[in-house]
């Protein structure tokens, strides 16, 4: 019979990892939606976010001796990481992508590749190759034993941290959807996404709108970085590329440019990883192969992704 | 009735008179005529002769190895050029084919499985096998272009790296060792110089085959596809098949090159086939000019030699200051600004150094901290413990350079002075101490800068695009 | 005799919008037929259906009796259809010559290995392609001749670009030539030239031509028959005079009041 405990645990793990992928994919989708650009640097912005969180953590005493209550510390980590990552995203857009707005599609893609590589190696240069640890267990011991405590519901073991992750992802997704659908700037973003030139002629400052979109998308990725650190402890300069790749997959599976699609895609990728690690031969080593196969499958059956819209082109 | 004088409407007189002008005497005309007489095949022949002579002329193994590296990177880049430059597709998993070829050689010619196939057979299998895999990889993206293809190929490269790094069959991260040397008809290839010549032969073969394909209807069809794939399709060109063909050629070249690389290295590891090789290849293709074979060759030479220079601190220093000097001479206009900027930077340097050493004597004594220069220490502020300050300096430098691009006119030129000094500071205290990482950072920045400033690269043709 | 091109009951929707509704259209070999109608009538969509950009939801499209439905676009060219585009789609960075030679792909047969080995067959075919390109370009007098041949297509003037596109289409050796607004954006002199050119395409080139045009002078000058579309439906067919004065056509272009005044 099926081992339900294992299944439930795998599902939970898959959903939490998937939530992180979903957050990066959200940033990715926003940028793609508005500029039709695959921002390869999105994962590296996520990585920088995790490092910012780390430095805030160690700057305020570190996991062993925090100088302030832990929830406040964590909040600060998020705030700094989101703002820092957001600003980084804006800078990247301004200097690496804006000059290429009217260049053929391949140009900003290669530029994005260059930015990603530049960020990765700058981090290597500045922070060194050592793996840094958030040491969440240490952080959470004492009064706030949050890594291991949490809800115990039958076979379900859901720590506060995991709840936080999934909850944050859902909240950000909802906020983002509302932002795009209901606010003035959201409308401006949608207009710019459909036809940039026409949007400028309608009085929309597309430069600002695009910068805002990058800020929001990168900030969300930065938050994901802190989440990642809290959940998985270890960060290094290579986590950007690896997780970024999964996030691309998630965005594509869900339908690139679609916000709920990014969320759905992220969760699917997370679950696919967890289940393939748990059930399929090869286990953890070959997770990526299975996820990749999933991607190929989705692309063959429904190239625009599960929730994506078809691109109508006039000949 | 006399004919009206003056330019005829609709006729481009200047271009039409080109043939006449060429008959004029004069040195530049002579150069033009000579250029026309020496056809591309002849130019390539001269290059090959030069390369062959180089192989004999130098007996230093180091130079031979650098030559080998340049040649195999050039071959790899030419393969990538087929996909990116000629067919206009973005293949981000290209390195995996290189790795496949290398691992194929490792399986077939090493004690690992006790197989010792004849080299030519392995090479043929690697080349054709990789071509087939290339077709398979590009199949799912048949109906997709640009973006989706990039993601799929990127993921494929990642899968290859993961598989090869984890499977028992490939010995995981420990790689495969003790590979056989190449052997052709009983002759074993043992010395670096011999490998250089093998690489030269492979390089020439690749160039010739690719050139012949490109000069035929296939090349025309690829170019049309790159220009406007829908129009090409509607004019009878089977775009999907052409994409697969481009991938097949690129992958085949990469696989072939992989075997030669593996044989010389004797030991191969998954890390040989990862992102940094991919970025290097893209930098080569873009720098040289995507689509131009001569450009790619030039790009390979520039980048590989540049990377070699960057690997030792003294050479790296030469490259750094030489590069700045070259940049100033090429781009700083009007020319009178050059002495101003150079003079100003030098002066600023001495001043800051004097102040810094006076104020903080203990912290500014250069140790030979893995490469700090004694000679430069009186100009650049060299810190005893450069790690923290170097890191901050780096971040500030990035900001300063980006900010400088926002300034215009004389303000930008004046801003050059402190920025250049800051760059020298960061260089001496941070970058030169981690040359391998610095090289990679430069590659990444180079890609971005090229795309913005000169997407056609050195020898590419500036393209007119309708977006 | 079977018509060269036959559309029967062709329909196509884009989402909820009917682009083409139950269209019947015939073009006999050697004819020049003009397709007219206000903007948005679906004229380019008809071309797209014939060339394979879209497949019809209902109905059939036959070329010389053979159904084209489901045949991939690039194969249709080999079967004998070639087109130009409403918004020019030249291969801008390729030379004039190369643009024309590119279109010969569908009827050349040298394989890749033959190209690499430069077999006699391949070399002969390349020479033939070169000669064919010369011929097709020569059709336009000295507009696209001489030094212009080696110039990149982006260096051509607008009118020359239109001519090049036609030359490129003819290089595919089609039986049926689809010209999408060949006179768009041309001044009166150039328009006159184009009118003569289309006539010559039929007489000297032997092509059957289906033309989309807005300029009624051109339509009058070239057409054996005129077909008028509006909102995806055929509203008139016949000689130029009969269609031009047809009240439904006048209404489609100029509105109901003008139609009533005309009647």
pLDDT digits (tens, 9 = 90+) for B428-445: 888 777 888 989 999 999
In this predicted complex, what is the ipTM? 0.92
> Does B166 contact A at CB distance below 8 Å?
yes
Judge if B291 and B366 occupy the same domain.
Answer: no
User: Which chains would you list as touching A if contact means 3+ CB atom pairs under 8 Å?
Assistant: B, C
> A33 pLDDT band (50/70/90 cuts)?
confident
Cβ within 8 Å, pair A303-B144: yes
**Residue A270 within a domain:** no
- Are the beta carbons of A123 and A47 closer than 8 angstroms? yes
**Residue A301 within a domain:** no
pLDDT of residue C129: 95
Domains in chain A, number: 1
**Residue B459 within a domain:** no
pLDDT of residue B6: 61
To which residue do tokens 């196969």 refer?
A: A293
Of B253, B286, B309, which marks where a domain is finished? B309
pLDDT of residue A68: 76
Judge if B123 and B255 occupy the same domain.
Answer: yes
* Residue numbers in A near C85 (CB within 8 A): 315
**Residue B14 within a domain:** no
**Residue B460 within a domain:** no
Judge if B305 and B328 occupy the same domain.
Answer: no
Judge if B318 and B245 occupy the same domain.
Answer: no
Q: Which residues of B119-150 are buried (b: 16+ CB within 10 A; e: fewer)?
A: beebbebbbebbbebbbebbebbbebbbbbbb
pLDDT of residue A225: 94
CA angle, B248 then B254 then B260, to 5° = 140
DSSP A191-221: HHHH-HHHHHHTT--HHHHHHHHHHHHHHHH
Backbone angles phi, psi at B110, to 5 degrees: -160, 165
**Residue B283 within a domain:** yes
Indicate whether C45 pLDDT > 50: yes
Q: What is the pLDDT of residues A192-250, one digit of tens each?
A: 988 888 999 999 999 999 999 999 999 999 999 999 998 888 899 999 998 998 998 89
Residue span of the structural domain in which A80 resides: 4-239
Cβ within 8 Å, pair B15-C147: yes
Indicate whether B423 pLDDT > 60: yes
Domains in chain B, number: 2
Cβ within 8 Å, pair B234-C105: no
pLDDT of residue A293: 80
> Does C77 contact A at CB distance below 8 Å?
no
> B116 pLDDT band (50/70/90 cuts)?
confident
* Residue numbers in A near C40 (CB within 8 A): none
pLDDT of residue C262: 64
Of B309, B331, B363, which marks where a domain is finished? B309
Indicate whether B456 pLDDT > 80: yes
- B202 vs B144: CA distance, rounded Å: 33
> A167 pLDDT band (50/70/90 cuts)?
confident
User: Which chains would you list as touching B if contact means 3+ CB atom pairs under 8 Å?
Assistant: A, C
Cβ within 8 Å, pair B279-A113: yes
**Residue A200 within a domain:** yes
pLDDT of residue A281: 73
Which among B209, B233, B245 has CB closest to C73? Answer: B233
Cβ within 8 Å, pair C103-B236: yes
Mean pLDDT throughout C72-90? 93
**Residue A284 within a domain:** no
pLDDT of residue C106: 92
What is the percentage of chain C residues whose pLDDT exceeds 90? Answer: 72
> B174 pLDDT band (50/70/90 cuts)?
confident
> B366 pLDDT band (50/70/90 cuts)?
low
Cross-strand bridge partners of residue C7: C25, C61
Question: With a CB-CB cutoff of 8 Å, which residues 276-295 of chain B face chain A?
Answer: 276, 279, 282, 286
> Does C44 contact A at CB distance below 8 Å?
yes
CA dist B251 to B156, B212, B271, B398, C34, Å? Answer: 13, 17, 19, 37, 49
Range with the poorest average pLDDT among B174-183, B210-219, B282-291, C42-51: B174-183
Q: Which two tokens stand for residue B325?
A: 């000097």
Indicate whether A112 pLDDT > 80: yes
**Residue A161 within a domain:** yes
Question: With a CB-CB cutoff of 8 Å, which residues 18-47 of chain B face chain A?
Answer: none
**Residue B90 within a domain:** yes
- Are the beta carbons of A7 and A279 closer than 8 angstroms? no
Range with the poorest average pLDDT among A250-254, B146-150, B291-295, B371-375: B371-375
Judge if B158 and B89 occupy the same domain.
Answer: yes
**Residue B2 within a domain:** no
- C177 vs C169: CA distance, rounded Å: 7
- A111 vs A37: CA distance, rounded Å: 11
Judge if B237 and B326 occupy the same domain.
Answer: no
CA distance A56 to chain B (A): 16
**Residue A303 within a domain:** no
pLDDT, averaged across chain A: 85
Judge if B286 and B338 occupy the same domain.
Answer: no
Cβ within 8 Å, pair A315-C44: yes
What is the percentage of chain A residues whose pLDDT exceeds 70? Answer: 89
Judge if B145 and B246 occupy the same domain.
Answer: yes
Q: What is the pLDDT of residues A76-111, one digit of tens each?
A: 999 999 999 999 999 999 999 999 998 888 889 999
Judge if B233 and B382 occupy the same domain.
Answer: no
Nearest CA in chain C to B14: C147
* Residue numbers in C near A312 (CB within 8 A): 14
pLDDT, averaged across chain B: 85
Cβ within 8 Å, pair B227-C93: yes
**Residue A276 within a domain:** no
Residue span of the structural domain in which B366 resides: 314-433
**Residue B74 within a domain:** yes
Q: Which two tokens stand for residue A59?
A: 């700057």
Q: Look up the CATH number of the domain holding residue B254.
A: 1.10.3470
Judge if B242 and B348 occupy the same domain.
Answer: no
Question: With a CB-CB cutoff of 8 Å, which residues 95-134 of chain A face chain B?
Answer: 95-96, 99-100, 102-111, 113-122, 124-126
pLDDT of residue A98: 94
**Residue A13 within a domain:** yes
Q: What is the pTM of this model?
A: 0.89
Indicate whether A252 pLDDT > 60: yes
């Amino acid at each position: 019979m099926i081992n339900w405990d294992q299944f439930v645990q795998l599902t939970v793990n898959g959903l939490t990892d998937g939530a992180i992928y979903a957050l990066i994919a959200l940033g990715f989708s926003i940028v793609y939606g508005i500029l039709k650009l695959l921002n390869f640097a999105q994962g590296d912005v996520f990585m920088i976010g995790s490092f910012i969180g780390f430095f805030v953590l160690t700057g305020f005493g570190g996991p062993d001796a925090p100088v302030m209550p832990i929830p406040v510390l964590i909040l600060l980590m998020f705030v700094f990481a989101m703002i820092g990552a957001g600003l980084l995203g804006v800078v990247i857009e301004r200097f690496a992508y804006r000059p290429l707005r009217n260049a053929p599609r391949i140009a900003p893609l290669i530029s994005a590749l260059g930015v990603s590589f530049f960020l990765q190696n700058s981090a290597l240069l500045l922070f060194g190759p050592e793996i840094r640890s958030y040491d969440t267990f240490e952080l959470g011991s004492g009064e706030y034993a949050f890594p291991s405590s949490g809800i115990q519901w039958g076979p379900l073991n859901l720590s506060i941290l995991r709840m936080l992750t999934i909850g944050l992802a859902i909240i950000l997704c909802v906020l983002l959807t509302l932002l795009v659908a209901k606010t003035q700037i959201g409308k401006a973003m949608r207009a710019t996404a459909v036809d940039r030139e026409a949007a400028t002629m309608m009085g929309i400052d597309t430069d600002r709108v695009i910068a805002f979109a990058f800020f929001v998308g990168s900030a969300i990725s930065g938050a994901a970085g802190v989440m990642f650190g809290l959940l998985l402890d270890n960060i290094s300069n290579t986590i950007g590329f690896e997780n970024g790749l999964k996030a691309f997959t998630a965005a594509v599976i869900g339908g690139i440019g679609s916000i709920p699609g990014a969320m759905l895609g992220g969760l699917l990728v997370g679950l696919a990883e967890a289940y393939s690690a748990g059930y399929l031969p090869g286990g953890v080593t070959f997770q990526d192969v299975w996820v990749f196969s999933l991607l190929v499958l989705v692309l063959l059956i429904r190239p625009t992704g599960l929730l994506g819209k078809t691109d109508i082109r006039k000949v | 009735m006399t004919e009206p004088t003056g330019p005829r409407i609709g006729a481009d007189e200047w271009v039409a008179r080109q043939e006449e002008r060429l008959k004029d005497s004069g040195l530049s005309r002579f150069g033009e005529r000579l250029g026309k007489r020496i056809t591309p095949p002849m130019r390539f022949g001269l290059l090959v002769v030069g390369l062959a002579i180089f192989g004999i002329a130098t007996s230093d193994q180091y130079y031979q190895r650098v030559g080998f590296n340049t040649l195999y990177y050039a071959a790899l880049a030419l393969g990538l050029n087929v996909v990116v430059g000629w067919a206009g597709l973005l293949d981000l998993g290209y390195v995996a084919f290189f790795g496949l070829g290398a691992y194929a050689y490792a399986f077939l010619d090493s004690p690992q499985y006790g197989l010792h196939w004849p080299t030519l057979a392995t090479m043929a299998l690697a080349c054709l096998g990789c071509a087939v895999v290339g077709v398979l990889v590009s199949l799912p993206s048949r109906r997709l272009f640009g973006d989706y293809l990039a993601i799929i190929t990127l993921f494929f490269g990642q899968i290859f790296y993961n598989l090869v790094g984890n499977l028992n069959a490939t010995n995981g991260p420990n790689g495969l060792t003790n590979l056989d040397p190449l052997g052709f008809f009983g002759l074993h290839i043992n010395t670096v110089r011999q490998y250089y010549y093998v690489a030269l032969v492979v390089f020439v073969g690749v160039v010739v085959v690719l050139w012949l394909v490109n000069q035929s209807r296939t090349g025309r069809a690829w170019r049309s596809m790159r220009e406007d794939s829908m129009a090409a399709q509607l004019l009878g060109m089977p775009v999907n098949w052409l994409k697969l063909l481009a991938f097949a050629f690129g992958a085949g070249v990469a696989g072939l090159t992989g075997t030669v690389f593996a044989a010389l290295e004797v030991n191969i590891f998954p890390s040989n086939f990862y992102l940094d090789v991919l970025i290097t290849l893209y930098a080569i293709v873009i720098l040289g000019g995507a689509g131009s074979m001569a450009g790619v060759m030039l790009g390979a030479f520039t980048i590989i030699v540049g990377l070699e220079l960057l690997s030792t601190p003294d050479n790296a220093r030469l490259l750094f200051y030489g590069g700045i000097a070259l940049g100033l001479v090429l781009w700083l206009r009007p020319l009178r600004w050059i002495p101003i900027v150079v003079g100003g930077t030098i002066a600023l340097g001495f001043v800051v150094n004097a102040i810094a050493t006076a104020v903080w004597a203990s912290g500014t004594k250069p140790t030979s901290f893995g490469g700090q220069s004694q000679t430069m220490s009186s100009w650049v502020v060299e810190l005893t413990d450069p790690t923290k300050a170097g890191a901050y300096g780096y971040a500030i430098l990035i900001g300063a350079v980006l900010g400088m691009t926002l300034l215009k006119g004389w303000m930008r030129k004046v801003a050059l002075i402190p920025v250049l000094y800051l760059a020298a500071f960061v260089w001496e205290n941070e970058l030169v101490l981690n040359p391998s990482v610095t090289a990679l950072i430069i590659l990444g920045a180079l890609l971005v800068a090229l795309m913005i400033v000169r997407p056609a690269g050195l020898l590419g043709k500036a393209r007119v695009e309708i977006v | 005799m079977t018509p060269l091109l036959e559309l029967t009951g062709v329909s196509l929707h884009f989402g909820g919008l009917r682009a083409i509704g139950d269209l019947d259209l015939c073009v006999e070999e050697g004819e020049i037929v003009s397709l007219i109608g206000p903007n948005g009538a679906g004229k380019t969509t008809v071309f797209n259906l014939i060339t394979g950009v879209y497949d019809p939801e209902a109905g059939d499209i036959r070329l010389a009796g053979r159904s084209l439905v489901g045949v991939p676009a690039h194969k249709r060219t080999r079967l004998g259809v070639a087109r130009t585009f409403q918004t020019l789609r030249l291969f801008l960075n390729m030379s004039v010559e190369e643009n024309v030679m590119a279109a010969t792909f569908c009827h050349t047969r040298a394989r890749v290995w033959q190209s690499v080995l430069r077999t006699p067959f391949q070399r002969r075919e390349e020479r033939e392609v070169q000669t064919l390109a010369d011929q097709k370009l020569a059709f336009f007098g000295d507009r696209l001749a001489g030094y212009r041949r080696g110039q990149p297509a982006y260096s051509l003037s607008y009118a020359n670009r239109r001519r090049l596109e036609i030359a490129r289409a003819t290089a595919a050796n089609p039986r049926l030539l689809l010209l999408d607004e060949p006179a768009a954006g041309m001044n009166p002199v150039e328009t006159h030239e184009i009118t003569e050119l289309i006539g010559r395409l039929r007489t000297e080139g032997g092509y059957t031509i289906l033309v989309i045009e807005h300029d009624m002078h051109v339509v009058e000058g070239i057409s054996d028959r005129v077909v008028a579309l509006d909102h995806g439906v055929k509203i008139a067919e016949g000689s130029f005079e009969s269609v031009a004065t047809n009240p439904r056509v006048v209404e489609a272009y100029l509105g109901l009041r003008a139609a009533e005044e005309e009647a």
